[in-house]
Amino acid sequence: MTEKFDCLEDFENLAKTILEKARFKWIAGGSDDMVTLTDNKKAFDRYRFRPRLLQDVSKLDTSTTLLGNTIASPIAMSPTAFHRLADYNEGEKATAKASCSANTLMVLSSFSNTRIEDVKKAAPDGLYWMQVQLFKDKRITENVVRRADAAGFKALVLTADQPVFGKNRRDSAYKNISLKDHPDLLRSINLEYAGLEKYQIDDAQTWEDIKWLKTITKLPIVVKGITTGADAKIAVQYGADAILVSNHGGRQLEFLPATIDALSEVVAAVEGSGVEVYMDGGVRRGTDVLKALARGARAVFIGRPIFWGLACNGEEGVTQVLDILKEEFRRSMCLIGCSRLSDITPSMVVHESYYY
């Protein structure tokens, strides 16, 4: 691949020309009129920097820890399904290798095309968390949890904002994805248990299910999908070790707040609890990462850009996506006057209305 990529948008533009139209639409699409999806990205533009000048930034350190595990920068990978849609031969294996080489964290989706054990085997030294769903047949969830634990995954990420699948315009794209050459392209291989190939999300799930998860594993639990301080406090009460502020990439309930807007409310709600807070949704630039950290996130997670990297250049494409985003973040840190993540403070970022 000889294309020159200057930013993450370049990957998306090229991926649109490479991928089957239905595949691209399914990956890129969101709920209804995609108001939430669009606002996730636009919301970052509403914030302005207030830098500290003449600061020594000659020795820059972007490393951080997530639940005690060190990563090279506060940029990690959200759980996303079916990576073979973008890279049929390698899929999640390519993502795992890129994650490992970048010394970051990959969250594997329960709806992945690749077995938990095979992802770990592809890059044994990588850092992995496992996304889990609450199914009506709890044996399916339990099987995923126990296998991830046995494979050396370091945490569980519980998707809490999906008691049912959201209905949206990308549903037609899903149905139009060609399976002629690859009949297993949309196979959720890790959810097949005891001969069961069908699964139903439990629409009766409650906070009590976190207590149930704690009876079958000692892995820390990250609750994903929270956008309000009220739910953040409940998550802490039920034993969450971390919270991932997320609106499901604009794929579930429409008209949720952009995650960068919701972030500070959640951070304030759990202050003093020791619970870490992360966010995903709309992160496309290094300045986005910096704004999220200034508003209280310990790290950000990216989803769709991983698909664009896979489509453009497989493992190397994902590596390039991570490298570009990290380099943009490093440059932004220098320009705002920070040499360590601990130097980034809330006062460095304000909503644009501050200047009205």
Q: pLDDT tens, 284-302?
A: 999 999 999 999 999 999 9
User: What pLDDT does residue 322 have?
Assistant: 98
Phi-psi domain of 287 (left: phi exceeds 0; alpha: psi -120 through 50; beta: other): alpha
Q: How open is the CA angle 162-47-247, to the nearest 5 degrees?
A: 0
> Residue 166 corresponds to which amino acid?
G
Q: pLDDT tens, 130-139?
A: 999 999 999 9
Average pLDDT over residues 260-288: 98
- 222: helix, coil or strand? strand
* Percent of all residues in the chain with a pLDDT value above 90, rounded to a whole number: 89
User: What pLDDT does residue 197 have?
Assistant: 57
- 46: helix, coil or strand? helix
The CA distance from 189 to 337, in Å, is 47
From 83, 182, 248, 351, active-site residue: 248
Residue 37, CB-side half-sphere exposure with 13 Å CA sphere? 17
Q: pLDDT tens, 25-60?
A: 999 999 888 999 999 999 999 999 999 999 999 999
Kindly tell me if the per-residue pLDDT of 2 is higher than 60.
no
The CA distance from 171 to 32, in Å, is 10
Domain coordinates of the chain in residue numbers? 8-355
User: What pLDDT does residue 321 have?
Assistant: 98
Kindly tell me if the per-residue pLDDT of 222 is higher than 70.
yes
Average pLDDT, the chain: 95
pTM for this model (two decimals)? 0.96
- Residues ≥6 apart with Cβ < 8 Å to 330: 60, 62, 73, 286
Eight-class DSSP state of 91: T
From the options 3.40.50.300, 3.30.230.10, 3.20.20.70, 2.60.40.10, give the CATH code of 8-355.
3.20.20.70
Q: Is 83 a catalytic residue?
A: no
